Structure 1
Amino acid sequence: MVKLFLFLLCFLCFNGVSLGGDFNVKDYGAKADGRTDDAQAFEDTWKAACCSNGPATIWIPQGTYLVGPLKFTGPCKSVPRITMKMEASVPKLGYLKAETDLNEYPTGDWIFFGWIDKLSIVGTGTFDGQGASIWHLNDCQQNKKCKLLPTNLKFIAMTNTHIKGITSLNSKNFHIGVVDCKHFKATNLKIIAPGESPNTDGMHVERCSDVIIKNTRVATGDDCISLGQGLSNVFISGIECGPGHGISVGSLGKYPQEKDVSGIIVKDSTITGTLNGISIKSWPSSPSPSTAYNITFENIIMNNVNNPVIIDQLYCPSGNCPNQTPSQVKITDVFFKNIHGSSSSEVAVILHCSQGFPCHNVQLQDINIVRSSVGAPTRSTCMNIKALYSGIQVPPPCS
């Protein structure tokens, strides 16, 4: 089906090439009145820009655009670069609002980008998933056959992508999904949903290389940023996280033949009022072995975080994981440096590693996490690990 679509796109481009320039969604029929479905106008605008013979800019000017699922796909071989600009000098200008009827989303995506080289999405516009009306339908913690709700923005098999300045609001499921991408950069984003909204991860990244996420505010109902399998060279800094579940590597080891994770750096960030802080998570009973290595968490401030520092190789959020054989995810060369602040619980450091593959070369340097309650101590708990410690250690290392 994908090959057929790409063939048709190339055929249409061959029969209607322009010389690039500006492409305004209103020129292609968008009403921007918040009531009329403008999806066709957006798709027609994309087709014209993708088929152009020079640098193309898609303009989404002031207005509220009601749209169902949108697919922006390539390859756009003749276009050096496509830039999508969203204007928003005041609230609800350059504002995309999702349809709330789930029957409109047969593929589980709202805004989908795929197989495009050199795409930029810039501006201060908003993608509003209107998730509050359907969050009660999210039962995936209890129902393994659940139907996933739509992701706000999904990027598949992209190269040289940059998203800057935009806001993702009240997604039905994940806010931003990034899969099979190379050279992906996200800066100055706002990702917002209530703390009680289910499964609204701010950004989920997997099977990608050379990813940068910087200077972004994430307040949501699940992981602020989750890093899945098959990642290499990921740099994250300047994140303000909370509410939510913190910044996590994983969960890993749930599916067969997962790829390794390596070269992860998370630094210079603040985590406030979250369930977890910084974590590495893997499932018990992994179907096949993999490795997570060369991971650094550095210069992280914790403000009243329930579980500030975690390695959890018995990850089972439902509490119902049968046949809990040891995780086959090998965790090695992990560095926690200059992590300080406050914990809302007594246990500030959890290092629970696999009995089958004990953690190796996990180093903690200058950890200073005190209890939010004045005068109450914090402590560490460890399993299947001999960590290396240096500098300040509050709570004290495991005995």
Structure 2
Amino acid sequence: MARRMLCITISLYCLFIAHAQIFDITTYGAKPGGADISQPLNRILRSACDSSTPSTILIPKGKFILKEAYLKGPCKAPHIALTNQGSVIALPEPTSVKKNNEWIMIQYVDHLTINGNGVYDGVGAKSWALNKEHCWNSTQCNQFPNNFGLHNLKHLTVRDITSKDAKSFHFIVSDAQNATFQNLKVTAPGNSPNTDGIHIGKSRQVTIMDSSFKTGDDCVSIGDDTKGVNITRISCGPGHGISVGSLGKYNDEKPVVGVWVTNSNLSNTMNGVRIKTWAYSQPNEASNMHFENIRMDNVGNPINIDQLYCPSGGCNMNMPSRVKLNKISFKGITGTSSTPVAVNLVCSSTFPCQGVEIGNIDLKFKGGAAQFVCSNARPAFSGKQNPKINCR
């Protein structure tokens, strides 16, 4: 009865599953603990794409070595599921991926599901060692393979999987429409450089929910030309926090519109919720961004707008950012800061932040009184304010 009711609720998905053609990689020559499965997996991906019926690629329980996988649509299949029930393990060498610099890359596919309770292990330690010298304070990291490159996809669902120890980012999502990430476990050591959990760019309507991120960089980062991102009920830490930006580096960037981060927890992260734009930036805009009901535990700069972002130096700090920020709210944010500055609103002197609302903030600094730094912004305040307001 429970299964029947579930299928009534998500009838289209159940219809796909009920009539799906199953492609089990072990029937195509892949063996647990055996040789690289790239050839059979890529062949199956192509066959599933070309099928006229819904298709499921099944990776059963066991450990499978994968050099790289690639699928480029469009596909005939009305729905494709990549269902991993085992552990898929990358080659450890940083340059092992030759074709696209994405360990698993999928492009131009509609109605794709990646699921199965399995693990994707990027085996990133050798890559991290090569990036530790300069990644922390520079954007010039070596571009090692991301675990997943998901590009030009419509109606994407990623759920119930673990992404582990990516050589670089865990998920890159670009030019996506209607994407949902649910019940993910993303893990890498806190000292692993450039291992962002999910980076979103040039996409529409992306939801991230009920997931855990432990990384060496941003748990979630949002790039330009992105509209309608909803992040809820996630845990983040260690890592660098949740970031919009950095924006304004390039002259062809497009606005970010509509970001909601709610009902989440950040713990032992370098930053909290952050909006960052380059000093002396190219023109751009970001608006309608809201951060609400978030718990901070030992977080650096829990609330942070930084329009003087310049991690590697060399910026003309006398030339203000030309990214306009508007309609931003921080509400119901509580907990502890690991740095004295718990609230940092450093906006552009050319384009001061507009429409900023701050309500019911209670952030403490264990080393003394928490600080509120504010320039080029005139927020509207409501409810409790700790630390005390200091705007000019």
> TM exceeds 0.5?
yes
Q: Distance in 2 between matches of 1:146 and 1:131?
A: 14
State whether structure 2 residue 72 is matched by structure 1 residue 73: yes
| Alignment match, 1:131 | 124
The counterpart of 1:212, out of the listed 196, 207, 216, is 207
| Alignment match, 2:353 | 359
Q: Deviations over 1:12-44 (max 9, x none)?
A: xxxxxxx961101111111221x5111001001
How far 1:324 moved relative to its partner?
5.0
Residue range with higher mean Cα deviation, 99-108 or 236-245? 99-108
The counterpart of 2:175, out of the listed 163, 180, 199, is 180
How far 1:65 moved relative to its partner?
1.1
Q: Is the 1:310–1:350 contact (alpha carbons within 8 Å) kept by the matching residues of 2?
A: yes
Q: Is the 1:20–1:53 contact (alpha carbons within 8 Å) kept by the matching residues of 2?
A: no
How far 1:142 moved relative to its partner?
6.8
| Alignment match, 1:96 | 88
| Alignment match, 1:11 | none
| Alignment match, 1:26 | 26
Q: Is the 1:32–1:38 contact (alpha carbons within 8 Å) kept by the matching residues of 2?
A: no
Q: Is the 2:25–2:58 contact (alpha carbons within 8 Å) kept by the matching residues of 1?
A: yes
Q: Normalising by the residue count of structure 2, what TM-score does the alignment of the two structures yield?
A: 0.91
One-letter code of the match for 1:86?
A: N
Residue range with higher mean Cα deviation, 331-340 or 135-144? 135-144
How far 1:202 moved relative to its partner?
0.7
* Structure 2 residue runs without a partner (length 5+): 1-18
Structure 1 residues 143 and 222, CA gap change in structure 2 (3 angstroms): closer
Q: Distance in 2 between matches of 1:204 and 1:44?
A: 28
State whether structure 2 residue 39 is matched by structure 1 residue 47: no
How far 1:145 moved relative to its partner?
6.1
The counterpart of 1:259, out of the listed 249, 254, 262, is 254
Structure 1 residues 146 and 336, CA gap change in structure 2 (3 angstroms): closer
- RMSD over equivalenced CA pairs, Å: 1.5
Q: Distance in 2 between matches of 1:389 and 1:144?
A: 35
The residue correspondences of 1:121-160 to structure 2 (distance < 5 A) are 121-138=114-131, 139-140=134-135, 147-160=142-155
Q: Distance in 2 between matches of 1:228 and 1:362?
A: 21
Q: Distance in 1 between matches of 2:183 and 2:36?
A: 29
Q: Deviations over 1:80-118 (max 9, x none)?
A: 10111111xxxxxx1111112233323321110110000
The counterpart of 1:292, out of the listed 273, 286, 294, is 286
Structure 1 residues 388 and 172, CA gap change in structure 2 (3 angstroms): same
Q: Is the 1:326–1:356 contact (alpha carbons within 8 Å) kept by the matching residues of 2?
A: yes
Structure 1 residues 361 and 144, CA gap change in structure 2 (3 angstroms): closer
Structure 1 residues 323 and 386, CA gap change in structure 2 (3 angstroms): closer
State whether structure 2 residue 222 is matched by structure 1 residue 227: yes
How far 1:147 moved relative to its partner?
3.6
* Structure 1 residue runs without a partner (length 5+): 1-18, 88-93
Residue range with higher mean Cα deviation, 115-124 or 318-327? 318-327
Structure 1 residues 268 and 141, CA gap change in structure 2 (3 angstroms): closer
How far 1:225 moved relative to its partner?
0.4
One-letter code of the match for 1:280?
A: I
How far 1:320 moved relative to its partner?
3.4
Q: Is the 2:308–2:317 contact (alpha carbons within 8 Å) kept by the matching residues of 1?
A: no
One-letter code of the match for 1:74?
A: G
State whether structure 2 residue 132 is matched by structure 1 residue 117: no
SS in 2 for 1:79: coil
How far 1:144 moved relative to its partner?
6.7
Q: Deviations over 1:221-276 (max 9, x none)?
A: 01010011111111110110000011111111111111100111000000001110
Q: Distance in 1 between matches of 2:108 and 2:335?
A: 42
State whether structure 2 residue 55 is matched by structure 1 residue 56: yes
Q: Distance in 2 between matches of 1:320 and 1:103?
A: 30
SS in 2 for 1:36: coil
| Alignment match, 2:239 | 244
Q: Is the 1:20–1:49 contact (alpha carbons within 8 Å) kept by the matching residues of 2?
A: no
Q: Distance in 1 between matches of 2:57 and 2:69?
A: 15
| Alignment match, 2:298 | 304
How many percent identity over aligned positions?
41
Q: Is the 2:326–2:354 contact (alpha carbons within 8 Å) kept by the matching residues of 1?
A: yes
